[in-house]
Amino acid sequence: MINSFGVLAYRIPSTATDVSGTAPDFINNQQVSTSGSIWKTGADYFWPDDGDKLSFFAYAPFGNNDVTVASASSTGTPSITYTANTDVTKQPDLMVAKTLNQTRNTTSIAAGVDMSFYHALTAITFSVGKDMVPGVFKSIAIKGVITTATYNLSTNAWNTINGTSTGDISITLNGTTGIVIDGTADVALTSGTSTMMMIPQTFSSGSTAYIEAVFNNGNGDKTLTASLAGTTWNSGTSTIYKLSTSSVNTMTLGTISYPSSWGGTVAPISSFNSGEAVGIYVVDQNNNIKNSNVRAAYNGSSWILDNNILFSPQYKYFAYYPYKSSQTSSVTAAATTADAFFTNLISGWSVTANQNTTSDFKENDLQVAMGTISSTASSITFDMAHKMGLAVITLGTKSVPTTRTYTGGNSTFSDSSDKTIVTASSNFSGNQPLLYNNKYYYIAKAGSGTTFNSITADNDAWSAPLSATISSGSYSALTATNTSRTFYKFIANFNYTGAVQSFTIPLYGTSKLEVWGAQGGSTGISASYTGGLGGYSYGNTFFSKDKNVYIYVGGAGVGATDMYQSLTGGYNGGGNVTGNNSVNHYTSSGGGATHIANIPGLLSTLNSNRSAIFIVAGGGGGARDQINLEPASRHGNGGSGGGLSGGGECGGTQTTGYSFGLGQSVIGDSAGGAGWYGGYSGSGGSIYVGYGSGGSGYIDGVTNGGTSDGIRTGNGYARITFVSAN
């Protein structure tokens, strides 16, 4: 409210347009105050009667030591100089007014002069919002600003170029006590008489002027600054500087430490990697959640917050790992420990069964911590702690004979003297742990029973499951054992017995199958003729443990020792010979095939179950001799057993022959050898040769197979050799 003001009046001719060259000699800096209902000077002044005009310039307050008016001898533009008092409470609200080119005549002489005042300074105040961290603001200062300048009453403009001086203006808040902020409500730091009345000015981009505040956050005074560069103070305006949380955030997010151990054991993971993140919660001194689940990501050297959080020594800070944007478990704001704060998150945490990769393992490793504020209140650190349990599984080992050799079946065997170390199976069933340094690690739900086992289809399957109930942050060491494995690999040999031989596969894995067909019968009177040698076939197949297979080892054909003999073909399909008194031949029966199948039955009986057959080696055809003068082409060695095709003129092939699984029987000549398809007798094929042809082999029931003809003498043979567990 204006109680009085100073006035200057310039008298100029009626033809003048402004007060240039004129001094305020009509009225010079006289006080105007109220007298009743009117404003008037102490002395009376009278209007000119010669047509001259009067221009009036006014300012308030009058008589203030910080407001200086130009002298009465100054001509031209009227001005005043203002200096901001360093005592803010004594700074005036400078107001100005002007009314130009006024005249009066006898009829209007009683009319007053209207003066409309407006503010010439900029009013500066400070406040804080309810998002401010708690503490005490002690003082505020504006430094390096213009504190003295001249105001042109005619142009209504401040001259901030010439005749100025700069300085600092400061104010202590609430005496020496300061103003307490609790972060729950908006608070004005200055107002009324503590408002700073400053000269309007523009701060260039390179200006060094700034605002300074002293704030105590509970751990000592902090001096905070904010630049005024690039801003403007305008006349007649109020500028409120609202101090935000960011302006007082001298604390930073410091180290987030990975747990140093897991109950004292070595673990696969011992540090955070770049890109991993935690979620942070902030709770104020009144147990209000100020920030919730703010993501902080590690960049390899420091932690970067996705959004700003409020920092204060009076606040509580909690963190959890791994960060989940969908984290909706309620927290306990009044808690004073991380376990209590995150109790619902911990109790509701679920672990996944599959943890056999590093990323899957980490996703289950719930960690929590309550922040620790440094002694200088400059940073907040978190020492994370595991909240799940850790199972550490060692696979037990033992020494077993390297090779077990079976003969004719499972009941007769011998073990080698050399040993091999075998290890309990690493093929887990159900819960899948992470392999690290030859041990297996699994994060288990704390306080809940967790079971581990191997698959059963494994040569080193565990003797029994492993179970453990592990407390939070602890570990349990478990050892898996296998007591059932008694040898490392096996070989099973099968000689000719004239009967089926069965074998139960003792190990899971790939085995090599080898079969040799039997030789056809040999004979000789005028010369020595040999029955066709049996074929050889080999190949691999995968067997499950306890799989039963059936081995039929072919018997050798029989050679005649006299004419007219009837001869039985070799076991498993060798062709028979029926004696004929009308011919003078020395004949031979055919050799039997050797095969392995997953169902019992002589080869010839499996025509409708060919898919059950793994492998076949063909038997050789019978040799033939004679004492009369028949052509030499009608006596000779028997055709060899196959091979993809049997030897001789009319050997079996993969698709044709005498018959599936049988060599051709004959009267008075030599018979064919057995095979996938048996060979023809000496007189049964398209060409009459006298000696029998060999049967074909078969390897389509195995992988990586091969077959050769003419390999085996005498009876057939078979072998099964363990190759590998896969």
Nearest to 300 by CA among 319, 323, 272, 320: 272
Over residues 135-183, the pLDDT tens digits come to 899 999 999 999 999 999 989 999 999 989 999 999 999 887 899 988 7
187 — pLDDT class (breaks 50, 70, 90): confident
Specify which residues 222 forms β-bridges with: 215
Using CA of residue 196, residue 199, residue 205, residue 206, what is the dihedral sign?
negative
273 — pLDDT class (breaks 50, 70, 90): very high
Using CA of residue 339, residue 340, residue 341, residue 344, what is the dihedral sign?
positive
What pLDDT, on a 0 to 100 scale, did the predictor assign at position 250?
52
44 — pLDDT class (breaks 50, 70, 90): confident
Beta pairing class for 165-172 and 122-128: unpaired
Residue 505 above 60 pLDDT? yes
Residue 399 above 70 pLDDT? yes
What pLDDT, on a 0 to 100 scale, did the predictor assign at position 72?
67
What pLDDT, on a 0 to 100 scale, did the predictor assign at position 436?
96
What pLDDT, on a 0 to 100 scale, did the predictor assign at position 249?
52
Residue 665 above 70 pLDDT? yes
631 — pLDDT class (breaks 50, 70, 90): low
Q: Tokens representing 598?
A: 């997953």
Tell me phi and psi for residue 604, to 5 degrees: -70, -20
- Which has more pLDDT, 133 or 349? 349
Fold match, 122-248 / 252-387: yes
Section 341-368 average pLDDT: 97
Domain ranges of the chain: 4-119, 122-248, 252-387, 391-480, 488-726
- Which has more pLDDT, 322 or 114? 322
Mean pLDDT over each residue of the chain, to the nearest integer: 92
**Which residues contact residue 415 at a Cβ distance below 8 angstroms, ignoring those fewer than 6 apart?**
401, 403, 404, 405, 487
Whole-model pTM: value is 0.71
Nearest-angstrom CA–CA distance, 528 and 524: 4
Nearest to 710 by CA among 611, 619, 594, 593: 619
What pLDDT, on a 0 to 100 scale, did the predictor assign at position 16?
86
Section 541-563 average pLDDT: 95
What pLDDT, on a 0 to 100 scale, did the predictor assign at position 377?
65
Section 466-489 average pLDDT: 95
Lowest mean pLDDT among 49-63, 235-249, 558-572: 235-249
What pLDDT, on a 0 to 100 scale, did the predictor assign at position 299?
95
Over residues 23-43, the pLDDT tens digits come to 888 898 999 998 788 888 888
Beta pairing class for 122-128 and 238-243: parallel
Nearest-angstrom CA–CA distance, 596 and 554: 11
Residue 376 above 70 pLDDT? no
Distances from the Cα of 617 to the Cαs of 560, 595, 651, in angstroms?
25, 6, 13
Section 398-409 average pLDDT: 97
Nearest-angstrom CA–CA distance, 132 and 135: 9
626 — pLDDT class (breaks 50, 70, 90): confident
254 — pLDDT class (breaks 50, 70, 90): confident
Architecture of domain 122-248: Sandwich (2.60)
Section 397-418 average pLDDT: 97
Share of the chain above pLDDT 70, in %: 96
466 — pLDDT class (breaks 50, 70, 90): very high
CATH of domain 252-387: 2.60.40.2620
What pLDDT, on a 0 to 100 scale, did the predictor assign at position 186?
79
Nearest-angstrom CA–CA distance, 286 and 544: 68
